[in-house]
Amino acid sequence: MSRTNSYKDLNLREGASLNEIKAAFRQMAKTCHPDAVGAGRADVEKFIKAQAAYKKLLQTAAARNRARRKNAAPDSPGQPYRWEERREEGLDVVYRLTVLRPAAGEARRLVLPARAQEACPRCLGQGRTLAKLGDHGLYRPTLCPKCEGRGALERPVNLAVTIAADQVGRSKIRLREAGLYQASQARRGDLILELIWADRLAAAN
């Protein structure tokens, strides 16, 4: 099934937003799902097509959102650093930063925007749940509507790191369990700061 057909099956324009996709599927379910209109009036085939389209578009939207978040700079105005790069190495997330060198006896406090990840409470980190089919007591695996199949939920957080003058020689700082979360194995990566020291941010390359 192509994305274009998926949009058509939900009566949507191509490129519709995630909220529009969810609203269209809810509306479709109200008109053709057996639980909503009764077994005699239900259009099961239409609902199955709509459900397949909904899953595909959810996966597409989730992948697009992950790519956008992945490439977002963890920058923060007024902070004593400049973002250079963000990359992922397995479950570890690496921030490469140019940091203002603290003077003797001083310290630099970096506030880093990040994303805390936790196992989805709806699917317990599996990414899929069971959906009831009609009044027959049958269930089928379906994409978790809460985490959209990822098995984990994210929320923005700020991580504070204080760097003293005697740490200026360090090129890396590792923040344990502040990286990505793999819900299926309950494993969490680290956030690694790669530091480039500079006396002035404007002069740093």
> For the chain, what is the mean pLDDT?
82
Please say whether the beta carbons of 147 and 122 come within 8 A.
yes
Tokens 């239409």 sit on residue = 46
pLDDT of residue 95 exceeding 70: yes
91 neighbors 182 (Cβ within 8 angstroms)? yes
How would residue 142 be classed by pLDDT, with cut points 50, 70 and 90?
A: confident
Give the integer Cα–Cα distance in Å for 70 and 48. Answer: 33
**Closest by Cα among 42, 48, 57, 63 to 5:** 57
Contact 181, 92 (CB under 8 A): no
CB crowding 159-198: b at 16 or more within 10 Å, else e: bebebeeeeeeeeebebeebbbbbbeeeebbbbbbebebb
Tokens of 100: 């203002």
pLDDT of residue 93: 92
Check pLDDT > 50 for residue 40: yes
pLDDT tens per residue, range 156-191: 888 889 988 888 778 899 999 888 888 777 788 999
**Mean pLDDT over residues 50-77, rounded?**
74
The stretch 55-75 carries a mean pLDDT of: 72
Lowest mean pLDDT among 44-48, 62-66, 118-122, 144-148: 62-66
Distance, in Å, from the CA atom of 140 to the CA atom of 128, rounded to the nearest integer, reads: 10
Which domains are present in the chain?
1-71 (1.10.287.110), 74-205 (no CATH)
pLDDT, average across residues 38-45: 69
pLDDT-derived band of residue 204, with 50, 70 and 90 as boundaries? very low
Taking each helix axis from N to C end, the angle separating 18-32 and 44-70, rounded to the nearest 10 degrees, works out to 170
Across 60-64, 134-138, 154-158, 163-167, the highest mean pLDDT is recorded for 154-158
Q: Strands 187-188, 152-164: parallel, antiparallel or unpaired by DSSP?
A: unpaired
| Secondary structure element (H or E) that encloses residue 202, with its range | none
pLDDT at 147: 87
Residue 116 has pLDDT above 80, yes or no: yes
Please answer whether residues 80 and 101 qualify as being in contact, where contact means their C-beta atoms are separated by less than 8 angstroms: no
For residue 127 the two structure tokens come to 């990414």
User: What average pLDDT does range 27-42 have in this prediction?
Assistant: 73
Q: Is pLDDT above 50 for 12?
A: yes
